[in-house]
Amino acid sequence: MCGINGIYNHLILNDSKSQVIKMNQSSAHRGPDNQGLYCDNDIILGHVRLSIIDLDSRSHQPFISANKGIILSFNGEIYNFLELKKELNEYHFITNSDTEVVVAAYLKWGVNFLDKLDGMFAFALWDKSQKQLLLARDKMGIKPLYYYEKNNTIIFSSEIRSLLNCDLVDRKLNSSSIQDYLQYSTVHGPNTIVEGIKLLPSGSYLQVNEHDFSINSFWDIRTRYSVKSSSQSLEEIQIEIKDLFNKAVQKRLFSDVSFGAFLSGGIDSSAVVAAAANASTKQIKTFCVSFEDKQFDESRYAQIVADIYSTDHQVIKLSPNDFLDGIPNALSSMDHPSADGPNSYIVAKAAKFAGVSMALSGLGGDELFAGYDIFHRAFNLLDKKWLFSFPPGVRKFIGLLIKSVKPSISSDKIAEIINQKYLELTYYYPIYRNLFTEKDLKRLVGFTKINKTHPFSFGNDNLVNSKMPFLSKVSYLEMNTYMQHVLLRDTDQMSMAHSLEVRVPMLDSQLVEYVYGVKDIYKFGKSPKNLLVNSIGNMLPNEVVNRPKMGFVLPWNNWMRNELKDFNISQLDYLKKINLLNNKEIDSIHNKFQSNSPKISWSKIWSLVVLSNWLNQNKIEI
């Protein structure tokens, strides 16, 4: 795993080479093993390398082809590079790296080679003869790639902070993104929190030359999901899923460095560890976080799995003071504000400290196999459209009644759903993921008119009219919002803060394509993620399958009201100082939280704290 940086059309700038060097230095944590630079009259490419496959210095980057015509700065892993290499036998390879396979594939197939890549990646490829830059990002959006366009110059990087530190990008808040951040604790692509900085969409590529600038999609699950399962029995479907899952894990074990796996004791991480242990000839190193507060502690379930598969298991015991001490470093590692990041920071730090440079994660299992409550809630609404036969006034009264009988965040959301124009997935789904409601926003930001069009465009006709199963539509929304712009972004920025590569087998594109085509009736059952559990059979112990779902959640409520209280107040004071939001409302929210109001969750306070800290640390102009 690495970091890429660069500037296209740089001659109009002053001292552009030193700016890319600054970007390399800023992202050095992503690649401590080597830094490289390529420069010609049209482009400057920078690279920082974390060596995972082919540790030889000949694989350092930017990589230059034998004919000097193709220069590549690559971040990621191509899991099928050995298979592709067999199809590229006319190319004379000088390394054993997947990076050189990308170059050879481009030379043979042009931009169409992107669809052949099985892996996670973001890269910049310069075609010197065509004087054309190609920026591309993997199908599932696992690896990030940001760009900034100004006066026909494009500056790009794996991280926003590298762009900010090159002195060519204005440190200005994207004011139109504030509503998005407050509602969802992140900013959805292609926008970011910084004005002018864009995130290249997943499964897309950007092409630019002196005549053209375009962004195109090369893979979209809405049109690429498999219909194979429609003619298969449940038994055949389960056999297929087990085979695809085991292959997804097995191909991600290829590495020239020490590796391990995150093991929370939940279904997803346990399944990944089980498959890895079965496929590997080496003992798997596993990592689990343990808390003093037993209601949040999952270590006993992780230990069961570790014992069954004889892993080299490490338990990371975490106290509130440990976390508090680590807060400054975790927040300073945050490339884009997000309320989830510190969780990933903790376990990544421990894995790297244990000598691991690559780790497997169960991320994506809930989104793919309908593991969240939102799947059940959305599915249960399918037969409640009769509610919308009532006039709007009656539905409004019902909503008010629900909120008065049981005041809570959940009641507020139910009332808001009842008052939607239509009971359709693309209308009510965003409400489930809301942190602050429309009324909250009006008080907090002072918007006279709230923008109800989500930046991701929930009303996209390609999704509404798609024939994919309903639960797969929910999966699509989950994967392209919360998963991509919170979970994956947090995993990347927090793991790379420790120069750790994280691989996610649950997001294998072949597995995803197949599961998206499976009928809804097979996805729900007696156990959580019923389809996955029944497919992999006895790989999981009953204690893990039947345990209460917890997820990797820290004891935030307790910490926020006690150990972190002073820290939170200091950050909220800065937020009030810059007058971005309604200061009285900030105080009101914090006071209600301290008074245990059921309508104010810890995540509302923490999202404001993170936003304040990030804006302050990165000197963002309001």
Catalytic residues: 2
Per DSSP bridges, beta strands 146-150 and 197-199 are: antiparallel
Bridge partner list, 440? none
**Separation between Cα atoms, residue 419 and residue 410, nearest integer Å:** 14
Dist CA 318 CA 556 (whole Å): 13
Count of beta carbons in the 10 Å neighbourhood of residue 233 = 9
Q: Tokens representing 399?
A: 């909503």
Phi, psi at residue 408, to the nearest 5°? -170, 170
Contact 190, 199 (CB under 8 A): yes
The label of the residue with tokens 């049981």 reads 406
SS3 string, 237-297, reads HHHHHHHHHHHHHHHCCCCCCCEEEECCCCHHHHHHHHHHHHHCCCCCEEEEEEECCHHHC
Q: Compute the CA torsion angle 412, 415, 416, 418 (nearest 10 deg).
A: 160
Distances (CA, A) of 586 to 409, 437, 443, 566, 621: 18, 15, 9, 15, 20
Paired tokens of 221: 């699950």
b (16+ CB within 10 A) / e for 84-112: bbeebeebeeebbbbbbbbbbbbbeeebe
Nearest to 146 by CA among 199, 183, 103: 199
- For residue 363, report the phi and psi dihedrals to the nearest 5 degrees: -55, 135
Q: How far is the C-alpha of 137 from the C-alpha of 95, rounded, in Å? A: 23
- The strand ranges marked E within 346-457 are 358-360
Which 8-state DSSP code applies to residue 549?
A: P
The beta strand positions in 473-593, using DSSP E, are: 501-503
| CA nearest neighbour of 364 among 484, 232, 520 | 484
Q: What is the DSSP string of 170-210?
A: --BB-GGGHHHHHHHSS--TT--SBTTEEEPPTTEEEEE-S
For residue 320, give every residue at least 6 positions away whose Cβ sits within 8 Å of its Cβ, in sequence order, or none. 292, 555, 558, 559, 562, 563
Distances in Å between the Cα of 275 and the Cα atoms of 256, 261, 451 are 19, 11, 45
Contacts of residue 534, Cβ cutoff 8 Å, sequence gap at least 6: 238, 525, 527
Tokens standing for 341? 């990041």
Neighbours of 304 (CB within 10 A): 18
Supply the DSSP string of 293-325, one letter for each residue.
SGGG--HHHHHHHHHHTT-EEEEEEE-HHHHHH
Identify the bridge partners of residue 285 per DSSP, sorted by sequence position. Answer: 260, 312
